[in-house]
Structure 1
Amino acid sequence: MDKKFKLSVSNIAIDSDASAETNSLSAESTTENVHPKSKKKFGRRRGSEWEVVEGLKEGQRFEKRPDVYNGFLHKKRKWPLKGWHKRFFVLNKGILIYGKNQNEINKGKIHGSVDIGLSVISSKLTGCRIDIDAEEFIYHLKAKTEDNFNAWLKQLTDHRLYRQHGLTYGSKAGIYSSSQTNEVFSAIKNVVSVLSIEKDTLKEALNQESQSLANYDLSNEVIGGLKNSLKEALHQNADLRRRLKAIHDTSDSSNLSHIPLKQNSNSSLSGNSSCISASEYFDAEDLPKDEDKIEVTGGDFEIPLSTRDSDTSSEAGSFSSNESISSGSEGDIEFGHTNIKLQSEGSKGLTGRRTILPVPRPATEGLSLWNILYKNIGKDLSQISMPVALNEPLNILQRLCEELEYSELLDKAAEVSDPYERMVYVAAFAVSAYASSYSRAGNKPFNPLLGETYECIREDKGFRFLSEQVSHHPPISACHAESKNFIFWQEARVKTKFWGKSMEFQPLGKVHLCFPSSGDTYVWNKVTTCVHSIFSGQRWVDQYGELHITNNQISCKLTFAKSTYWSSKRHEVLGTVYDENGKHVRNLFGKWSEALYCGVAPSARCVWRAGTLPPHHEQFYGFTRFAIELNELEPESHLLPPTDTRLRPDQRALELGNLSKAEQLKLQLENAQRERRKKRIVQNVQYQPLWFSQNENNDQNNDEWLYNGKYWDARKNGTFSEMEFESLW
């Protein structure tokens, strides 16, 4: 039988919740230390739990075809997941289709179709909820009454079994009667019919797109602008060649230091940058083959030249056309469209930090994700302990720092005087925080222990960062970053829900940003992240929802489109900046995995572009260059407090490729955290974070956490050794 339908839950071995005691998996199967009141409510709780509709078991048959079933259900909107609307559903031979009403269905106006046999269905009596995870989409349904809920659940179960029987046995099922044969063939037209409808819809969409492109008439003004842009690009490229030739002719290992690569706030020395030319869509002229690499005579450096392509992992090191990496002073190198990367011996980049992890990601064959996640469909997994094989060697505290990878956008925002233009750069920064997730669908970061901290000092980017795990129930991480141009802080709490084939990460909390020079303060939310196809080798990440940025009366709305794997609108972001009167003053568009533009195509300018991924990034957790640097122990590591996440042994063991040691250490650390919590409960002691405190003046958001200003002074004075820290590992 196909492994897809072996959904038996016998002998399931699930790790107990070592990171959260009250919502642990082990706690679900035991009544030890259960409060008497909770025992009384146990019977009522069963209706509030999500239950999975089981599929065809091995050797089981279900040859009787169920009758066609139809009726109305309420369906949660695909996007932005706000509210419910009434839709008419038809269930026939394992295929569920829906439309606005029965007349629309009869006319062939189908809004969507789901193969019940290939989907994971979960139900919850409370709320009469039925959720169907069809990989590319998650359908959230709700019945109006309990009787309607039970009827639909029974029909979905029967149709699921019948569909799986046909998919599993097919012609191998033995001798069928003529009526059974007709049923099988009928089920196969039905499928072909649905596919045909979707194919025709896709074909029509492609034809319309092709026709619109064919009919698109560029005006003489636009054509002239494009010609001028191309001429400017060629001119910049020629100037770049001249400068590089001068470096090649005059440089050696003894005078490389005389090349003034100016490190201002707009440069990203870890290999990432803002964007290409602001108004051009043309790449720089390709270099001849013998010029693809220019070696500096007598030195240890080589300068590979490459041009940006249209791939998602676009080249790093290019900036908008109206600015360069330097201020334009004599001797500075203007990067233009072309990317320059300096690689030295010892795998150290320009920042002096590493450019590769110690070892590739270890193999995880034989790990059964389904057995681990089966009992947790519809639950918040942020408090469920997962095997270390699902982790990446970074912590959530470090992932918060990773959102500052493109901090040069904030430096630029602080420089501009136009408030609407400043909002454009803030919006680009908010979008850039999602770029690194494009290649990170395979693993999740470590959950921080209560009291765990992380600091990051980036002289090349001009900021210093601090984060701390301030709460364990619920899990909340707080962070604070500051530079001469901006102050950035946020409180992060994420709900993680598993729906059968997909996993959703629903962020709570707000992001805050302040520019001291102008006094402007910005606040925004985060959108939902979803990892699809988690049981296959083709996992992919989608972001969807609305991101609202507010600054007094000026605002910006960014819409992250929800799409399928093959959608032409995949990763698409559309945005609008509004003035004090609600009038739109700027248009934004692009992709969160590639770039964000301001204006109207094709003359729009690029505000931000994602940097290239390192070579062989697939073997190293899909990390960006910036992510590779985050967990490195630097020469000043002796100045760190003992709670810094870079000193965490299980995370370090995973980075070094020792999977079994990492798993052992992770369990030990989480068990120790459990004991510390029990001890505080017995002693009636409330945990107090060291470096952050709740904002008591904020009535609207009690979860806002603010930096208390003590960490950097303690680090500067060397008083960490004199302080009493709770032992975390």
Structure 2
Amino acid sequence: MAMANYSGPQVPDTEMKGTLQKWANYMRGYQKRWFVLSKGLLSYYSSEADVSQNCRGSIKLASAIIYKQDNIRFVVQNGDQVFHLKAKNEQQRQNWMTALQCSKMLANRLQESEDEYYQKHIINSKKQDRSLQFLEPLNAKLNDLTNFNELIVKHGSALHKSFIALESIDNPVEAIKFCKSYNEKATVFRVTTIPMLKHCEEFVTLARNVVKKMEKLLNHEREARTSLEVVCAQLAKQYSQLEERVKREYANKNNTGGNTSDEDEFFEDAVTDFEVPVPGKALRASSQDYTENNCETVSNYQDDSSGGDDLPSDEETEDSPTSAAIGVRVRKNKLKNLNSTKGIEEVNIDVSISEEKAPADSDSTQSTSVPGTPSGSGKNDFDFDVEELKPPPFDPKRRTKIPERPNQSLNLWSFMKNCIGKELTKIPMPVNFNEPLSMLQRLTEDFEYAHLLHKAATIDDSCNQLVYIAAFCVSSYATTSVRLNKPFNPLLGETYECDRTSDLGWKSIAEQVSHHPPMLALHCEGKGWKCWSEFGLSSKFRGKYLQVNPVDISHLEFPDQGYHYTWHKVTTTIHNIIVGKLWVDNHGDMVITNHTTGDRCLLKFIPYSYFSRDVPRKVTGSIIDAKGEPRWVIQGTWDNRIEAARVHNKRRSSKGKPIWETSSPKLVWQRIYPPPEYDKMYNLTVLAVQLNEPEDGVAPTDSRLRPDQRLMEDGKWDEANQIKGFLEEKQRKVRRKREEEAAANPDADVTYAPTWFKLQIDPITNNPVHVYAGDYWQCKQNLDWTKCPEIFNFDRESDLKSIQGTD
């Protein structure tokens, strides 16, 4: 009875437990689970035997909503977390709901008590010691002990008085009657003492835990203080050294008549705005954003080959194109002021003269002009004509729209169910993952900014040509950030022609030349140039992302100059394949080599990093001539723009570090964004929309005539999926027939031969590569398509039976 006087926000250890049925899903329905209601938390297990293990799920009742659905079903909901429960009968449902409501009320009381304490002792007291957070449970337990002590004193005093009264009674009958009252008071005293002993034990245990926490806190504070003292000592030392050095540099400045070169060199090591890769040295990542402002730049090229043990030797890096990075620091005032008074050419001359006059032990900066740098009036300087850098307008007669992408989701369960029992090679991927273009058309789309090659064809200097070639190579990745749907895999023998000579100044022909492994070849001709490539890929699925490694080589030839360039594409990674929003990143190194002169351009596609301060999708690079001299610095992003800055001067600081001075960066390529409504057209560009436009007179194997691709573009996805299965099954039949012929006659040559390309040894790489045979456009003019295989025709009934035969 006395215990009823003690009150507090205590939640019982276990309020209720038992078996209930919990809704799982539509496949499994209600499942029996063992539920435990404890300390304001409702948890469930597979069975009562699993209580010692981790629970399968739990829900907090403090802010939960509890309501009934019918006589035996009720719901417990806390935000997005919902438990649909079913009891055996109405009485069990009522018992559980009553216990849940009581537990929720007690949990809310405890939460309110904690909130009041937090408001009173933490928020309103800014100087509150952190140790009081550990003492609060101890104080609460001490208050409980004080209450129990008062009860024990009270009942003990009553028991003592009863004992004295009992001793004073001489009549045995009255003594026996009085003993009943005495026994009741002794029972009350015993009941009061038992929880007192339990709370004393808990108080001792809690006190020991608090002591351990206080010891850890003190040790942490001691270590933090020691670390802070060490950091302060280091900062003081660095500040002293910096102060002394600034004074020394200031004195040198006064002694040299105001020459600020040494002072600038001192600060050049502090910050770099971006870094560019240089062939033949180890590449390091950048930490600063590149600038898009028109400003003078100074490239701080650090030569680590003389003193860095952490860098590989020349033998180790001979095959590595990217083994050194050179910092580029943007200066907006100094060089601008110098240029306004003397001009950049005069600055270079002055620096070169100072190198000849400086003694060997002097700290003066040595400088030399870069070979090929224009001087004098600058009439031969490289000119960036903004109008010439704009792509030509599209033919207004061509289409500008396609049907919008249907809002049609894929039922993965239905798709997987239909795949049960089938061969993996016979499972056609639905067109829901595709865009209405083939891989042949997607590769042709790389020439959207081919006007850069038109401009390059008018330039005789190889290094200057490389500026536009580099911009063209980067521009092919402009739309990959938003084009998340895969193109159609071409059928063996499928072709695609694109004749845009009238408006864009180029024409191309592409063909799927191999199926296992998949490989396609492309040949394109423009104004003063021709480009051909062979493209394949290998993919690696890493769980969270898909990495696509291109197996390719691209050739670019300028017949008038006799230059021959080659390069390889970089790696593409598609993130969040399973869960989350898809996003694409391009990363790796691209080396563009002029095999005629030996000049090279090295482009670094910097991978995205959550912890980096670089702008996303960043590209940096440098153009080095055959003698190893720097000519250009490239910077930008692969989805937006590319800028180039000429290296005008090469010098060394007093510390021996190379420094390259560049002119103001100039815009070379700027992406042209499609109108907003193209977001609903698979995020295609204007050129991509026109690539699949029907045309007369094309080869019967052209991608425009592929029926499943055309049906998908028209929004008929179900029919497209069916036709796609027919075409792929026909391709399997042809391959099996070829394999059977090879097995029956081993001496016969039954390998597939492309129609418009031939296999020969590449003189650059000494590897077999497919090159254009040269007769496609003549056959088109004569409408002679007798060499083309029939790949889009199929027997609907026969192929349907073949596909269903594996069900």
TM-score of the superposed pair, with normalisation by structure 2: 0.47
Contact 1:542 1:563 in 2 (8 A): yes
Aligned residue number for residue 596 of structure 1 = 642
2:397 to 334, 352, 367: 352
Which residue of 596, 615, 637 corresponds with 1:569?
Answer: 615
Partner of residue 584, structure 1 = 630
User: 2:583 corresponds to which residue?
Assistant: 540
Q: Cα distance 1:446–1:566, how it changes in 2: closer, same or farther (>3 A)? A: farther
Show CA shifts across 1:530-551 (max 9, x none): 1111334521110011001111
Partners of 1:448 and 1:674 in 2: CA distance? 13
Shift of 1:439: 1.1
Identify the residue that residue 499 of structure 2 maps to in structure 1: 457
What whole-Å deviation, never above 9, does each CA across 1:375-434 have from its counterpart, x for those lacking one? Answer: 9xxxxx999853211111110100110110100000111111221110111111111111
* Cα distance between partner residues in 2 of 1:487 and 1:539: 36
What corresponds to 2:733 in structure 1?
675
Equivalent in 779, 787, 791 of residue 727 of structure 1: 791
**Contact between 1:692 and 1:708, CA under 8 Å: does it hold in 2?**
yes
1:291-310 paired onto structure 2 within 5 Å: none
For 1:73-472, list aligned pairs within 5 A: 218-219=332-333, 221-222=335-336, 322-325=384-387, 350-367=395-412, 385-441=428-484, 443-458=485-500, 459-472=502-515
For the 8 Å contact 1:649–1:662, the answer to whether it is kept is yes
Runs of 5+ consecutive residues of structure 1 not aligned to the other structure: 1-5, 7-57, 66-177, 187-203, 227-319, 327-333, 342-348, 376-380
- Could you tell me how far 1:513 is from its partner in structure 2? 0.4
CA distance change for structure 1 residues 64 and 526 in 2, over 3 Å: closer, same or farther? farther
Quote the residue 2:773 is aligned against: 708
Q: Flag the 1:225–1:406 CA change in 2: closer, same or farther, 3 A.
A: farther
Distance in 1 between the 2:617 and 2:634 partners?
14
Q: Percent identity?
A: 37
Which AA in structure 1 matches 2:638?
A: W
Question: What is the DSSP-based 3-state SS (H/G/I as helix, E as strand, rest coil) of the residue aligned with 1:673?
Answer: helix
User: Are residues 361 and 565 of structure 1, via their aligned partners in 2, closer, same or farther at CA, if it must alter by over 3 Å?
Assistant: farther
Aligned residue for 2:791, secondary structure, equals: coil
2:102 corresponds to which residue?
Answer: none
User: Equivalents in 2 of 1:62, 1:716: separation in Å?
Assistant: 81
Q: Summarize the Cα distance change of 1:618–1:368 in structure 2 as closer, same or farther, 3 Å threshold.
A: farther
Deviation, 1:616, is 2.4
Kept after mapping to 2: 8 A contact 1:382/1:496: no
Residue 569 of structure 1, CA deviation: 3.2
Q: 1:622 aligns with which of 670, 675, 683?
A: 683
Equivalent residue number for residue 519 of structure 1: 562
- Deviation of 1:723 after TM superposition, in Å, equals 4.3
Q: Deviations over 1:341-393 (max 9, x none)?
A: 9xxxxxxx644211111232442254479979x99xxxxx9998532111111
How far did 1:704 drift?
1.3
**CA 1:59–1:640 in 2, change beyond 3 Å: closer, same or farther?**
farther
User: Any conservation in 2 of the 1:370–1:535 contact (CA below 8 Å)?
Assistant: no
| 8 Å CA contact 1:523, 1:550 repeated in 2 | yes
- Could you say if the C-alpha distance between residues 589 and 216 of structure 1 is closer, same or farther in structure 2, counting changes exceeding 3 Å? closer
State the alpha-carbon separation in 2 of the partners of residues 509 and 629 from structure 1: 26
Deviates more, 1:216-225 or 1:353-362: 216-225
User: What is the match of residue 528 of structure 1?
Assistant: 571
Does residue 669 of structure 2 align to residue 608 of structure 1? yes
Separation (CA, whole Å) in 2 of partners of 1:697 and 1:548 = 18
What letter matches 1:455 in structure 2? Answer: E
1:569 alignment partner AA? V
Distance 1:205 1:462 in 2: 41
Distance in 1 between residues matched to 2:664 and 2:415, nearest whole Å:
49
Verify the 8 A CA contact 2:272 2:330 in the aligned structure 1: no
Unaligned runs of 5+ in 2: 1-23, 25-44, 55-204, 214-270, 274-286, 294-328, 341-381, 647-661, 743-749, 794-807
Letter in 2 for 1:641: A
Query: Judging changes above 3 Å, is the alpha-carbon distance between structure 1 residues 361 and 572 closer, same or farther for their aligned structure 2 residues?
Result: farther
Root mean square deviation, CA, Å: 4.1
- From the superposition, tell whether residues 655 and 703 of structure 1 become closer, same or farther in structure 2 (CA, over 3 Å): farther
Change (3 A) 1:582 1:420: same
Secondary structure of the residue that 2:442 maps to in structure 1? helix
**Equivalent residues in 2 for 1:64-75, closer than 5 Å:** none
- Counterpart secondary structure, 1:421: helix
Structure 1 contact 692–707 (Cα < 8 Å) conserved:
yes
Which residue of 2 is the match for residue 696 of structure 1?
A: 761
TM-fit CA distance, 1:504: 1.2
How many Å apart are 1:658 and its aligned residue? Answer: 1.1
Q: How far apart are 1:610 and its partner, in Å?
A: 1.0
Q: Cα distance, 1:322 vs. partner?
A: 4.0
Letter in 1 for 2:714: L
**1: CA distance between counterparts of 2:685 and 2:398?**
13
Deviation of the 1:682 alpha carbon: 1.6
1:650 aligns with 2:764: no
**What do the CA deviations read for 1:202-223 (whole angstroms, capped 9, x no partner)?**
xx999x969x99x986315537
Q: Residue type matched to 1:692 in 2?
A: F
Distance change in 2, residues 1:718/1:424 (3 Å): same
Counterpart CA distance in 2 for 1:340 and 1:419 is 24
**Contact conserved, 2:543 with 2:578, CA < 8 A, in 1?**
no
Cα gap change, 1:605/1:370 in structure 2, threshold over 3 Å: closer, same or farther? farther
Maintained 8 Å contact 1:404/1:433: yes
Q: Does 1:560 align with 2:629?
A: no
- 1:256-306 Cα distance to aligned partner (Å, 9 max, x none): xxxxxxxxxxxxxxxxxxxxxxxxxxxxxxxxxxxxxxxxxxxxxxxxxxx
Asked if the contact 2:755–2:788 (Cα under 8 Å) also holds between the matched residues in 1, the reply is: no
Aligned mates of 1:411, 1:340 — CA distance in 2: 11
Computing the radius of gyration over CA atoms, which structure comes out larger, 1 or 2? Answer: 2
CA contact (8 A) 1:410 1:429 kept: yes
User: Structure 1 residues 62 and 433, CA, compared in 2 at 3 Å: closer, same or farther?
Assistant: farther
Would you say the 8 A contact 2:529–2:559 is kept in 1? yes
